[in-house]
Structure 1
């Protein structure tokens, strides 16, 4: 059985695709308490018993409480959490949550699921994605695919009526992460145009801001200071969550905690909360601007702004979104349920359910992929450790791009191609993915070049091909999860798909024919007409060199239109 899982920072959910007479639908599976959301919390009792979900969350702030929450924020890191006598990594804790969700499905259906589609923030890097996959494996699940949370939400939103839509924005603010995606739907295709985000921004941060705003006046006698800080912080954050929910319904709320049988309380108003959260609200703007800029779509041309994630229920957030876009957002899909439903829909697509056979998803590469390079500085020295992008962020996938690099030292016998993921100018700020050592002929600096080609697909497979044109030598590196490597048949099919993309746009017959036609027309005409043909041809060549399909298509259309007009009505 294949299930869809929203592995959230604050809450998680599981859903499955069910066929019916209308084609089928995604349905959430309740947990043992009958709730559709399971808190992403793990607690260990003094006797070693492990609790997951609501029972674990209730133990937050207790004297003997050994409870972990928000561990999704540490996926892909070496950080450990000690619960009782044992240390857990973020993926260990996530695996326990995934096991609980798996068991809920088994209890509901009588069949234990063995496969899953798991959602991740669009801005999760390679390490974080691999850690999520390992968590699924630890939970006894074969992870068929990781799908970006906004993409999953777009699927849930789009399948309500399957209507074509102009570009819309998915605004996904969860408990611990924030994602923005620009999505378009047409002819059964869900196309993600751009994604951006902040992996350190979510509802938990608003709770922390609320707790900070009231701590001083809540506890003038310093009772909380007598507690161990983790326990004091847990009590404050629990109270902040309750107060935050109350502020969603009214203009003021009680903020209360109990310390050693003594109740401490104060009142917090909406205006106080908004003032305290002002810095967090400002941080919501940057990913929105980046996604719009990368997609080259103006905010005014968006058809809708779709809200996803429990934190979008806060009035302070909705008010900020309304101001930012000059319109009210769309919350027709339950913000807490959309991602899990979308994951189940993706599961139905993988299982090739008949009700979903006409739907396809195109996603983007969320981070820039490139290699480490060096360059001569103004002082004549060599500056090393610089990042040279090959596949830019928000490029539609699958994709294949290449770059040409040359030696910088005389008689250099080897080039070490180090592969990175990220946006920083220096590679030290990016994620190292792998490297290839490429032997080259010993010649003067700059006389030996290499062609480095990156090919990347939506599942995270990155194939690196390096060719030395002078010798014809070729080298290859495959960067992929070990679990994927085991599925040889599927891996071969994915590599064949990428192989079909491994050519430069200049080599395509249609583009070569258009360049030849432009050259012929350039020779036929004179004066200003010839100059215009030359300008349009240069624009087309520049577009080809960029290897960006949309830019190439636009430049090709402009050049073709000009040549058609000149040949149909040649100037006298």
Structure 2
């Protein structure tokens, strides 16, 4: 049996495809949602789910939540006498869900479809897959969360016009634009922010309440870890209360004393404005990439528990000029869609006419060098090969040439991301190819990227003139810095002299240009890259008048490019 699993930041759920429909599986408590929480009990045993979450305020040093945000990193947490990383903790939750399904169905689980945020990078996806394997699951496929929600909604509605899935969960935000026609559920574009979710709104609530919560300063001596969990829990309660009320009380008890302060929906909305603004860019990006206008969208489908917040729903109504569709259960849609995908993999006859097409969520490319206009080359730049939101599976190639006489090898650093400079992207691996000694530009190599629906990237390099071929299937790499290395780099940056590049106006326009580079594709992306190169060349001259003229011109160019604004 293949099951579908929504591995969430706040809650997780499992579902199965049975009798022509998705069915959510209750856990041992009879609940359809299992908190993504792990705790170590006093006797050393591991608690998962609600039992763990209930200990969060009382045993903050033995309990952990929201660890999904750190999957794919080296960050660890110590519970009891043992340290866990996010993969370990995720595996414990997945193992619990697997046991629930087997108890509910009486059948052995042979495979699983696990959902991930659309904006998870390669490392995070592979870490999720490893967590599933550690839980004893054969992970058959990873599916983007908004794609899974769209699959559940699309199967029910048979909607013909494109619709947008707006998925704001506890720790991540995703958006996808989807079309359904003739049984085909086609994802046109996906975008998101995997550091934005309900937990961030909780933090804003805490900041708002602390202004008046403790005027006498009594909480200053409190254990910061324990107090932090109490504040977070109080914020969650207050945030949920504001779903149905215009005001509520933010309260907690410390050392037998009640600390309370009123909070209003209007004050919370004002405090949350920076987060609400961050919801805009992924929406804009997905619309641009799909080449679909706002008025062509048939529905705005809200998914994820955090979309229950009135501040979010009001923001969405203002953003799109219409009320969003709330017919899909925000906490269940992703798991239900994962079960549909499980049914597809199991070749269930009820899904014979249903097909799913997805997209590559990140741009994939290599590191390359560009002429700097002074007879040399600037290295460390990103050359896209597969643009984000390209339908998958796909295979794309580009040709590169040597840049130095008698160059012995061409090095292909492989990256994933949207930054113009590879330092801002995720490094996936490297291929080195020995080439014949010839004058610069006379040796060319074709670099082909092949990306499939399971998220596997294969890289092929060929040098036709020398009959050379190389192949690499991307594997995991880790690149972490020790505290000493971080301190050394921080000191080195602090010792640098101030250059015109660091002047605020120049920083601002360069940051905007970098954002535009990330937001656009193809010819427009190449144009922005050219503008950035020209402006950086002027900065190097350190002529204030020339810099101002170049900056003004760059602003005009970016204004003409960004054009339509609907938010």
TM-score band, normalised by the shorter chain?
0.7 to 0.9
Given candidates 376, 380, 387, the residue that maps to 1:392 is 387
Tell me by how many angstroms 1:76 deviates: 0.4
Distance 1:45 1:223, change over 3 A: farther
Moved over 4 A (4+): none
Q: Which residue of 2 aligns with 1:82?
A: 78
1:414-451 deviation line (CA, Å, top 9, x unaligned): 11111111111111111111221111110000111111
Q: What's the C-alpha RMSD, in Å, of the aligned pairs?
A: 1.6
Q: Which residue of 1 aligns with 2:15?
A: 15
Distance 1:360 1:63, change over 3 A: closer
SS in 2 for 1:165: coil
1:509-563 deviation line (CA, Å, top 9, x unaligned): xxxxxxxxxxxxxxxxxxxxxxxxxxxxxxxxx99xx9xxxxxxxxxxxxxxxxx
Inter-partner Cα distance in structure 1 for 2:476 and 2:31: 34
Inter-partner Cα distance in structure 1 for 2:447 and 2:193: 30
Tell me by how many angstroms 1:64 deviates: 6.5
Aligned positions, number: 480
SS in 1 for 2:162: strand
Given candidates 134, 140, 146, the residue that maps to 1:138 is 134
Query: Greater shift after overlay, 256-265 or 274-283?
Result: 256-265
Inter-partner Cα distance in structure 2 for 1:220 and 1:42: 35
2:334 paired with 1:339: yes
Inter-partner Cα distance in structure 1 for 2:343 and 2:71: 27
Q: Which residue of 1 aligns with 2:500?
A: none
Contact 2:13/2:97 (<8 A) preserved: yes
Q: Which residue of 2 aligns with 1:373?
A: 368
Q: Which residue of 1 aligns with 2:210?
A: 215
Given candidates 310, 314, 318, the residue that maps to 1:319 is 314
1:106-151 deviation line (CA, Å, top 9, x unaligned): 2212224231100000000000000000110111111000000011
Tell me by how many angstroms 1:379 deviates: 2.2
Q: Which residue of 1 aligns with 2:219?
A: 224
1:249-270 deviation line (CA, Å, top 9, x unaligned): 1101111111111111111110
1:54-103 deviation line (CA, Å, top 9, x unaligned): 11111112157511011000010000011111110001111111111111
Tell me by how many angstroms 1:16 deviates: 0.4
Given candidates 425, 440, 446, the residue that maps to 1:445 is 440
Tell me by how many angstroms 1:351 deviates: 0.4
Given candidates 101, 112, 119, the residue that maps to 2:115 is 119
Inter-partner Cα distance in structure 2 for 1:366 and 1:63: 38
- Within 5 Å, give how 1:551-570 maps onto structure 2: none
Tell me by how many angstroms 1:46 deviates: 2.8
Inter-partner Cα distance in structure 2 for 1:28 and 1:402: 43
- Within 5 Å, give how 1:520-535 maps onto structure 2: none
Inter-partner Cα distance in structure 1 for 2:446 and 2:212: 64
2:200 paired with 1:197: no
Inter-partner Cα distance in structure 2 for 1:164 and 1:315: 26
2:183 paired with 1:188: yes
Inter-partner Cα distance in structure 1 for 2:289 and 2:475: 26
Inter-partner Cα distance in structure 2 for 1:225 and 1:48: 32
SS in 2 for 1:26: strand
Larger radius of gyration: 1
Q: Which residue of 2 aligns with 1:503?
A: none
SS in 2 for 1:470: helix
Tell me by how many angstroms 1:481 deviates: 7.7
- TM-score, normalised to structure 2's length? 0.83
Q: Which residue of 1 aligns with 2:269?
A: 274
Contact 2:2/2:110 (<8 A) preserved: yes
Q: Structure 1: which 5+ runs fail to align?
A: 483-541, 547-572
2:53 paired with 1:57: yes
Q: Which residue of 2 aligns with 1:244?
A: 239
Contact 1:102/1:113 (<8 A) preserved: yes
Contact 1:164/1:187 (<8 A) preserved: no
2:304 paired with 1:309: yes
Tell me by how many angstroms 1:164 deviates: 4.0
2:90 paired with 1:94: yes
2:24 paired with 1:28: yes
Contact 1:461/1:480 (<8 A) preserved: no
Contact 1:373/1:388 (<8 A) preserved: yes
Q: Which residue of 2 aligns with 1:45?
A: 41
SS in 1 for 2:211: helix
Contact 1:17/1:26 (<8 A) preserved: yes
Inter-partner Cα distance in structure 1 for 2:378 and 2:280: 34
Q: Structure 2: which 5+ runs fail to align?
A: 478-521, 527-567
Distance 1:329 1:3, change over 3 A: same
Inter-partner Cα distance in structure 2 for 1:112 and 1:400: 37
Q: Which residue of 1 aligns with 2:531?
A: none
Inter-partner Cα distance in structure 2 for 1:221 and 1:197: 42
- TM-score, normalised to structure 1's length? 0.82
Q: Which residue of 2 aligns with 1:473?
A: 468
